[in-house]
């Protein structure tokens, strides 16, 4: 994408800004380390990381969104580099740059306020716009294209699994019936279809919320990329390297929680076997904290309400400290 493309100037408040960067423990000798911001967004975390880095420090950021890339390209700092790709590719990207180990990795999942508030992106049912939903508008198929060609059964499964929507089959049936009459090409059309299919509404939540979430997650392969990205992050973390992940819904948090727990709990052999304590398998991660935004942050930024940050530290070879 060229620098000449217009970037929408929309306000974005970075969730858990100070807390997330604090979790990376960029201090002492670590200020000259290498760090990864896996989700640049509008650069809140990256800019604060750069403020704390020493002159020899380095920050590699990733993002799939062309608008985020355009914003990142405005940062003129020799310690900073932006990669137009998913954080799931960080292993290959870091290898290509000769980086074997990093000191900290931050993943701020989900979508940003500018993405939600830009009707042209199609992420929100609050605005009428083209039904796109792609994080990277230069690749892949849009939500409208997918809904036009996918089977009713698969649409229902996606809405059920990724949106945890109990009326998924009814919604899929309604989508199939509508597309037989006319293309479903706008966010308003999809929201209206869902509203008619959902018989009861959760208090304070639009009936289209779960369906829009499900389609967005599926179109962008968010959960698959999260699983790949977590393993890539783990492989790249050096001893005492920190991994901080901010998630915004239960599907994401469940994956993060299980991944960290699996690395923090070493497999235990049969106790009947004659194995010395020193030879027992040791954990690879140490779980440090779980944090949510405080009341003041939620009051200032309601979108922070569902955020959960989990932090873990890579243990040296040989086990826990």
Binding residues for S-adenosyl-L-methionine: 43-45, 63, 87, 108, 115
Give the angle subtended at the CA of 55 by the CAs of 53 and 59, to the nearest 5°: 50
Question: In the chain, which residue ranges form alpha helices assigned H by DSSP?
Answer: 17-23, 44-52, 66-72, 90-96, 113-117, 143-149, 152-163, 168-179, 187-197, 209-219, 222-236, 250-264, 295-300
In angstroms, the CA 231 to CA 234 distance is 5
Helix orientation angle between 209-219 and 187-197, rounded to the nearest 10 degrees? 130
In angstroms, the CA 284 to CA 280 distance is 13
Read off the tokens for 111.
């979508």
In angstroms, the CA 87 to CA 226 distance is 8
Identify any residues that bridge with 59 across adjacent strands, giving them in sequence order: 35, 80
In angstroms, the CA 83 to CA 164 distance is 32
Q: Please state the residue numbers annotated as binding site.
A: 43-45, 63, 87, 108, 115
Neighbours of 286 (CB within 10 A): 17
């Amino acid at each position: 994408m060229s620098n000449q493309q217009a970037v929408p100037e929309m306000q974005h408040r970075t969730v858990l800004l100070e807390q997330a960067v604090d979790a990376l423990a960029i201090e002492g000798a670590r200020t000259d380390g290498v760090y990864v911001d896996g989700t640049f967004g509008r650069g809140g975390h990256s800019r604060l990381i750069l403020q704390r880095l020493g002159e020899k420090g380095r920050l590699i950021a990733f993002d799939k969104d062309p608008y985020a890339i355009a914003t990142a390209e405005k940062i003129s700092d020799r310690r900073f580099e932006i990669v137009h790709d998913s954080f799931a590719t960080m292993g290959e990207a870091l290898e290509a740059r000769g980086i074997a180990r990093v000191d900290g990795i931050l993943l701020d999942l989900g979508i940003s306020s500018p993405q939600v508030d830009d009707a042209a992106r199609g992420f929100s049912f609050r605005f009428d716009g083209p039904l796109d939903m792609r994080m990277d508008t230069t690749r892949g198929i849009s939500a409208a294209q997918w809904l036009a060609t996918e089977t009713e059964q698969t649409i229902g499964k996606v809405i059920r699994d990724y949106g945890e929507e109990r009326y998924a089959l009814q919604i899929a049936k309604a989508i199939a019936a509508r597309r037989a009459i006319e293309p479903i090409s706008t966010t308003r059309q999809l929201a209206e279809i869902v509203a008619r299919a959902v018989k009861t509404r959760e208090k304070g939540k639009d009936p289209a919320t779960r369906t829009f979430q499900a389609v967005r997650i599926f179109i962008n392969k968010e959960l698959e990329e999260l699983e790949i990205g977590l393993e890539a992050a783990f492989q790249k973390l050096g001893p005492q390297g920190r991994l901080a992940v901010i998630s915004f819904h239960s599907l994401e948090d469940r994956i993060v929680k299980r991944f960290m727990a699996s690395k923090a709990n070493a497999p235990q052999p049969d106790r009947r076997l004659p194995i010395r304590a020193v030879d027992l398998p040791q954990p690879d991660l140490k779980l440090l904290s779980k944090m949510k935004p405080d009341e003041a942050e939620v009051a200032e930024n309601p979108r922070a309400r569902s955020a959960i940050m989990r932090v873990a530290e890579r243990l040296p070879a040989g086990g826990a400290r």
